[in-house]
Chains A and B, each alone.
Chain A
Amino acid sequence: MRAPVPVLKSDELPIRSSSDVVVVRQLVRTRAIEAAFSLVDQTRIVTAASELARNTLEYGGGGRARIDVIREGVRTGLRITFEDKGPGIANLELALTDGYTTGRGLGLGLGGARRLMNDFQIESKPGEGTRVVVVRWH
Chain B
Amino acid sequence: MDRIPILKMGPFLLVTIQVDMHDRLAMTLQDDLTSRIADTGARGVLIDISALEMVDSFIGRMIANIAGMARILDAHTVVTGMQPSVAITLVELGLSLPGVRTALNVERGMSLLQSFLDDSDPLVEEPSPVDEGAGAGPEE
Contact partner of A112 (CB less than 8 A), chosen from B23, B53, B93, is: B93
A interface, over-half SS: helix
Is B22 in contact with A19, judged by CB distance below 8 angstroms?
A: yes
- Please state if B56 and A50 are interface contacts (CB–CB under 8 Å): yes
Q: Is A18 among interface residues, defined by CB-CB distance under 8 A?
A: yes
Classify the interface of chain B: helix, strand, loop or mixed. helix
Q: Is B61 touching A105 in the complex (CB atoms < 8 A)?
A: yes
Answer whether residue A135 sits at the interface, using C-beta atoms and an 8 A cutoff: no
Which residues in A have their C-beta under 8 angstroms from that of B23? 18, 21, 54
Interface 0/1 of B16-31, CB less than 8 Å to A: 0000111110000000
CA distance A44 to B61 in the complex (A): 18
- Point out the residue from A21, A43, A54, A111 that lies within 8 Å of B89, measured CB to CB: A43
Contact of B54 among A46, A108, A112, A115 (CB under 8 A): A46
The answer to whether the Cβ of B55 comes within 8 Å of any Cβ in the partner chain is: yes
CA separation between A112 and B84, bound complex, in Å? 18
Is A64 interfacial (CB 8 A cutoff)? no
Interface residues on chain B, number (Cβ under 8 Å)? 24
Chain B residues, CB < 8 A from A39:
85
How far, in Å, is B93 (CB) from chain A's closest CB?
4
Tell me which residues from 29 to 45 in chain A have a Cβ below 8 Å from any Cβ of chain B.
Answer: 29, 39-40, 42-44
The answer on a CB contact under 8 Å between A25 and B54 is yes
Q: Is the CB of A25 within 8 A of B20?
A: yes
Cβ A106 vs Cβ B20 within 8 A: no
- B79-134 CB contacts (< 8 Å) to partner A: 83-86, 88-90, 92-95
Q: Is the CB of A40 within 8 A of B54?
A: no
Q: Which residue of B lies closest to A50 (CB)?
A: B56
Best-buried of A19, A43, A98, A116 by chain B (most CB within 10 Å): A43
Instruction: Assess the B53–A46 pair: CB atoms within 8 A.
Output: yes
Knowing A19-B22, A22-B22, say if A106 contacts B95 (CB, 8 Å): yes
A sample of 4 more A-B contacts (CB under 8 A), given A43-B88, A105-B61, A108-B94, is A47-B54, A47-B56, A106-B57, A111-B94
Question: What are 19 contact pairs spanning A and B, CB under 8 A?
Answer: A18-B23, A19-B22, A22-B20, A22-B21, A26-B20, A40-B84, A40-B85, A42-B53, A43-B85, A44-B92, A47-B55, A47-B56, A51-B57, A51-B93, A54-B56, A98-B94, A106-B60, A106-B95, A108-B94
